[in-house]
Amino acid sequence: EEIPFDSHHKFMLTRHHLNNQEDIVFVKGAPEKILAHATSYLDGSQVVHLDKEQRDYFNHSWQDLSQRGLRVLAGAYLLVSKNFKALDDFKDIPHDFVMVGIWGLSDPLRLETKDTLRQTLAAGINTVVITGDNKFTAQRIARDLGMSLEDGSVVTGEELLKMTDIDLAKRIGAIKVYARVTPADKLRIIKAWQSRGEIVSMTGDGVNDAPALKAANIGVAVASGSDIAKETADLVLLDNNFKTIVMAIKEGRMIFANIRRVILYLLSDSLSEVIIVTGGLILHMPLALLATQMLWINMVSDSLPSLSLSMEPEHDDIMNKRPKKMKSLLDLESRVLILTISGVTGLFSLWLFWYFWQQTGDIDLARTVTFSTLGISTLLYVFSIKSLEHNIFKSKPFRNKYLNGAVVIGVLTQLAAVYVPFLNKALKTVPLDWSEWQAILLVIIGVMTLIEVVKAIFSWYYRKIKKVL
């Protein structure tokens, strides 16, 4: 017969045939649990009574092995008659086993784990250790990982039982290591973090981990784990490596940042056109931009840069930022930048249209100036919005080769729309001279300067004010 390992009792038991008169029962598990069921120990081939002195010796021995970072097991046996009743539950297990010994198993950390954990801390990801190992082993593992432990940082399953859910939710932020936990404890830990509004990811491999993997926002199983764990989890680590999780987070942050950049770029461009057209209607002026000219900007000049922004490589500090709790893709800084870029670009483009229309009376010239201002400005201020944390000079503006090529192509197509005769006829544009280009460049420089000012203000705010709040 067999009683499988139980996370609450922390040992397993099997019964085997020995001879015609007796069976032998083996038990292995947590040393403190095995010692509690033992009354003697095996010294060579002799069974010796387990007195207090020897019991203290065994307790000291397994704790010493644990403090060295080893995972400790103990084993014992019991001879029973053939008529010994079946063991239906842990409560039926006798308490007169013969202690055989204690052994420590070395399960060394991967070499890169300590550095990986350092990356998670820098990224604002709070990592805690949850283990079925005893408190001493858990403490040693945590210290080997570089975690700083203080009073109250390590909690056992027995201590968790004494805490209410409210008490646990209050203390959860200070606890870094959980030892001798049960599946129910893991569920409580996850729910306590979630009650604080945190996104929780849990890694596990055993059958008992399945409920916690399901309860977590993101359950992560390892390929070497049980089938139930892998079926329950949202993700499976094929290489069983914690570093892969951190690399996935980095990749996710990069993708998210690129999505925001593309949205910021496209909305700024489109809203500028809305302001130009709407402003002209309100002021009872002719259209400053024709429909074909707006289509040219959106589909020919700006299409490649927007696609290239989605391939922006990861920035060096992407894993040195704390995650932001955002209800939408666009945070306050992005919204302010959209309004700033579109407002300034739209209003100044509209003013240039009015100015050149009034000065020359040539509406095609005025429209070409507006068309060129909007088209070229979007191609140049893309280098400013590709990094919202640093100014354009510190953000390595030309590191994205796809964007560089897209901007060059965009500028050439925009110039072609102004200087190629058959495009002049199709788009109702006229060639511009240097005086018009000077006015256009002044507006573009002004827009890019304002973008850098807004970025600097928000950078200062997040660095100084938000940290205090």
Give dist(CA 265, CA 240) in Å, integer: 39
Burial of 293 (0-12, 13-18, 19+ CB in 10 A): buried
Residue 57 predicted with pLDDT over 90: yes
User: Mean pLDDT across the stretch 67-73?
Assistant: 85
The residue-averaged pLDDT of 308-329 equals: 81
Q: Which residue has the higher pLDDT, 330 or 215?
A: 215
> Considering only 26-35, 55-64, 103-112, 225-234, which range has the smallest mean pLDDT?
103-112
Tens of pLDDT along 131-173?
Answer: 888 888 888 888 888 888 887 889 988 899 889 989 998 899 8
Question: Residue 66: what residue type?
Answer: S
Q: Which residues share a beta bridge with 27? A: 13, 76
Report the alpha-carbon distance of residue 449 to residue 447 in Å, rounded: 5
Separation of alpha carbons 383 and 393, rounded Å: 10
Q: What is the dihedral of CA 62, 67, 71, 76, to 10 degrees?
A: 0
- Contact (Cβ atoms closer than 8 angstroms) between residue 427 and residue 315: no
Bigger pLDDT: 2 or 9? Answer: 2
**φ, ψ of residue 240 in degrees (nearest 5):** 55, 30
Question: Which two structure tokens, joined as six digits, stand for 180?
Answer: 């001798």
For residue 435, the number of C-alpha atoms closer than 13 Å in the C-beta half-sphere is 5
Is a pLDDT exceeding 60 seen at residue 466?
no
pLDDT top residue among 91 and 434? 434
Question: Residue 144: its pLDDT value, please?
Answer: 83
The DSSP code sequence of 94-115 is -S-EEEEEEEEE--PPPTTHHH
Tell which residue, 154, 213, 216, has the closest CA to residue 180. Answer: 154
Tell me what pLDDT residue 389 has.
80
User: How many CB atoms lie under 10 A from the CB of residue 83?
Assistant: 7
pLDDT of residue 236: 92
Q: Tell me if 294 sits within 8 A of 367, measured CB to CB.
A: no
pLDDT, position 288? 92
pLDDT of residue 333: 84
State the average pLDDT over residues 278-295: 91
pLDDT of residue 151: 79
Q: Of the given ranges (68-77, 105-114, 347-356, 407-416), which has the lowest mean pLDDT?
A: 105-114
pTM: 0.74
pLDDT of residue 465: 62
**What does the alpha-carbon distance between residue 225 and residue 231 come to, in Å, rounded to a whole number?**
10
Which residues, at least 6 apart from 302, have a Cβ–Cβ distance to it below 8 Å?
A: 265, 266, 269, 375, 378, 379, 410
Two structure tokens written together for 317: 């500090």
Confidence of residue 90 (pLDDT cuts 50, 70, 90): low
Which residues face 220 on adjacent strands?
A: 203, 235
Q: What is the pLDDT of residue 468?
A: 40
**pLDDT score recorded for residue 396:** 82
Helices 135-144, 52-67: axis angle to 10 degrees equals: 20
Q: Tell me, what's the pLDDT at 469?
A: 38
Find the range with the poorest average confidence among 18-22, 87-91, 171-175, 263-267: 87-91
CB 189 within 8 A of CB 178: yes
- 392-444 pLDDT, tens digit per residue, is 888 788 888 999 999 999 999 999 999 999 999 999 999 999 999 999 999 99
